[in-house]
Structure 1
Amino acid sequence: MSESPESAPPPKAPTTALRQRLAELRGPSAQPHPLDARALAALAANPGCRRRALLDGAGVDKSALAAALGSPSGYGQSQFAFMRGNAFEARVKADGGRELLRLLGLQEAGEVRLPELGASGPEGRAARTALALREATGAGAVSLLDHPMLALEVAGSPAYLEPDAVVVHPDGRWTVVEIKSFPMIDASADAAKVGAAARQAAVYVLALERVAGAVPGASVAHRVLLVCPKDFTNLPTASAVDVRKQLSVTRRQLARLTRVEDIAAALPEGLTFDLDGRSAEQLCEAVEQVPHAYAPECLAACELAFHCRDRARLAGAVEALGRSVRGELGGLSTVGEVLAAARGEAGEPDDPAVAALRRAAALRSEALAPAGVPAARGAREAEGAACR
């Protein structure tokens, strides 16, 4: 299924002043850590986190920063999984992508064009990819772009993304191909992993739409091809995944991100996340200058999640209990406020959240009261247990 792409201007390069400020934040000797589609999908899922938006925009290596803070991250692929994924991808693309085209139903397409996408730097590769896509569209043949480079503006800074492959069909339709090493057993894969792959692919589709808006006759398919090992073998199989929902959410959430220059402008002069010559206390003080929006989902998507979780727990923030719980509690923002409201020591009785907490506390006390013990005494004992 395809849709007419939305026309949009190419990503704007940061101003000289902003580039200098981001270099100061990153550290003069640190190379910028590139943003990828997985990071952008996680950023779009939590657009209220200014900390991640700034660190990603500045290209700070969050894994190294988390380790320096004393909260090393468990996020990311193991070396074994990385090597297995590369080997599987090489098998899928072997022999000019014949197996990949078979999975797309294009085995009878005849000659397949394999454009050369090499260029200097990510900007050059993105420009070369855009040219190759333009030349392939309307050529009447199938073109397979292996690891093209796409550009997308995120919070005022350009991000460069590299999908596994993009196939240009004879009718001018562009299809994103995502190759993953998790298995598809009996034509079904782990729902959480498929969801993560769909969110990642939606970022690629969004970036492709920016290119397709300037190419006559081009359209971007909103059904991406997910290629995985079949059952318990290393043979590839595929499934078409509709990413329209993920695309809509990603587009909306990325648009909500505060621009990086606005976040940087609110920080004290001289603040930096440079790891060289700085203690964990100094780095922690610098990181705490930028507001965060921790949620348990961050543990599966952000390298700084353990650090932010510790700080949220230390502050007693209800966000540490989950977004759904936070939404139910209304104006109660700390665990202390919640407990006080449940005990009847604070909060307006007419507040639905306060009334629900008091009702829950009463039911809990009644359930925990031993047989023959007055309810008031049982309530006091239950309250003491809750405080402990």
Structure 2
Amino acid sequence: MSASPASGPPPQIPPSPSTPPPTALRQRLAELRGPAVAPQPMDARALAALAANPGCRRRALLDGAGVNKAVLAQALGSPSAFGQSQFAFMRGNAFEAKVKADGGAELMRLLYGQLGGPDEPDPATVRTPDLAAAGPQGRAARTALALREATEAGAQAGAWTFLDHPMLALEVAGSPAYLEPDAVVVAPDGRWTVVEIKSFPMIDAAADAAKVGAAARQSAVYVLALERVAGHTTGASVHDRVLLVCPKDFSNLPTASVVDVRKQLSVTRRQLTRLTRIEDIAAELPEGTTFDPELPAEELTAAVERVEAAYAPECLSACELAFHCRDRSREAGAVEALGRGVRGELGGLRTVDAVLSAARGESGDPTDPTVSALRRAAELRAEALNGAAC
């Protein structure tokens, strides 16, 4: 049940914590997308993937410019196998609607059962403010106001507040990103908790570890964005544990568990600060560079290759351009294609040909520990093959 509006003039919505980029930068990013291409909004999944690979200037620029990487990959001839099936998408929406039915009564029950609170929420008195506003910036400002009002209502009247699909703003590499968690709950003690609803099952109170990890990284981005608002709200705190709601076993009944995102939050915060500012990357490109998918494939490939990438096999599960970058990495014989761990072990040897040459004794400093280890490994391999031949 929504709270009754207070009498008197409506409150003024404060400015968004993240301001839009300057006009010149907006124009430059629009040129990079293409004159008739609408921007693709950056979501929490993209931010989590970007934070996991902060050295990839290509992804930072494309995401910051709002380039649709799936369409770009198709135009480059390396389509991605990314995304949900229509069936999975519909099932997820139906499950989320079930969890949030009746003003979030079931969701509030699950949250109180897992995290507790000062007083158990009464579904009839839980506040559900209207978060509608014009555009993402307006919605982010409306959400910030609703969070402040909810914190005040909790302190004064012990009220719980359920925010359905709030909009949060976060500055990433000098450009604003607008994020939309499934829900945020404000407890009477001023604690803000992110709720993430997923359609993968929780069997015997445990879910797939890889999927839970991905949800934790995504939720950490929401927590980081909420912290920016909480820093300007008296009495507010953001919970570093999020509520993950999933179907129970093989049913469609919701169940929940608490996920600690402190580690993911720390990593995300550190990695996002390492990102090169988008305008700095854009400034290095020749005038007229564009990633318009309508360009001929040769011109589009040349434009993409002007921006440095940092490919690793992990990109295959996180980026729509991964197949294109993998092909280019293999063509160049880059050791990065073998994984970050291998790349770290090989020191200054940057290509597979250089590694093989050093292992055969044709190049490299024999006093270099990496070269010495490669030559020893080559000798052991030769001995093993000779022994097998005998």
Question: Is 2:341 aligned against 1:329?
Answer: no
SS in structure 1 opposite 2:112? coil
Runs of 4+ in 1 over 6 A off after TM superposition: none
Q: Which runs of 5+ in 2 are unaligned?
A: 1-15, 114-118
2:306 to 289, 293, 297: 289
Measure the CA separation in 2 of the matches of 1:75 and 1:18.
Answer: 30
Q: Does 1:125 align with 2:139?
A: yes
User: Which whole-Å CA distance do the structure 1 matches of 2:80 and 2:388 have between them?
Assistant: 48
Name the structure 2 match of 1:83. 90
Inter-partner Cα distance in structure 2 for 1:12 and 1:156: 10
Which of 25, 36, 46 matches 2:43? 36
Is the aligned partner of 1:235 residue 2:253? yes
Match for residue 350 of structure 1?
A: 367
Counting matched residue pairs gives 364
Rounded Cα–Cα distance in structure 2 between residues aligned with 1:13 and 1:372: 68
2:366 counterpart of 1:364: no
Identity within the alignment, %: 79
Q: Specify the alignment match of 1:134 in structure 2.
A: 148
Aligned twin of 2:106:
99
Contact 1:133/1:168 (<8 A) preserved? yes
1:108 corresponds in structure 2 to 120
CA distance in 2 between counterparts of 1:362 and 1:236 reads 58
User: What amino acid is the match of 2:338?
Assistant: L
Q: Which amino acid aligns with 2:346?
A: L
In the superposition, relative to structure 1, how do residues 372 and 172 fare at CA in structure 2: closer, same or farther (>3 Å)?
closer
Equivalent pair of 1:88/1:234 in contact (CA under 8 Å): yes
1:73-103 per-position Cα deviation (integer Å, ceiling 9, x unaligned): 1122221111111011001001111110111
- Opposite residue 275 of structure 1, the aligned amino acid is P
Equivalent residue for 1:58?
A: 65
Q: Distance in 2 between matches of 1:324 and 1:40?
A: 23
SS in 1 for 2:152: coil
What does residue 205 of structure 1 align with?
A: 223
The residue that corresponds to 2:201 in the other structure is 183
TM-score using structure 2 length: 0.92
Which whole-Å CA distance do the structure 1 matches of 2:387 and 2:245 have between them? Answer: 58
The answer to whether the Cα contact below 8 Å between 1:172 and 1:218 also exists between their aligned partners in 2 is yes
Q: What is the TM-score of this pair, normalised by structure 1?
A: 0.92
Cross-structure match for 2:274: 256
Q: Are the aligned partners of 2:246 and 2:256 in contact in 1 as well (CA < 8 Å)?
A: yes
> Does the CA-based 8 Å contact 2:291-2:303 persist in structure 1?
yes
CA distance in structure 2 between the partners assigned to 1:241 and 1:284 by the alignment: 41
2:28 match: secondary structure? helix
Contact kept in structure 2, 1:138 and 1:171, CA below 8 Å: no
CA shift for structure 1 position 12:
3.1
Aligned to 2:289: 271
Return the alpha-carbon distance in structure 1 between the equivalents of residues 175 and 81 of structure 2: 27
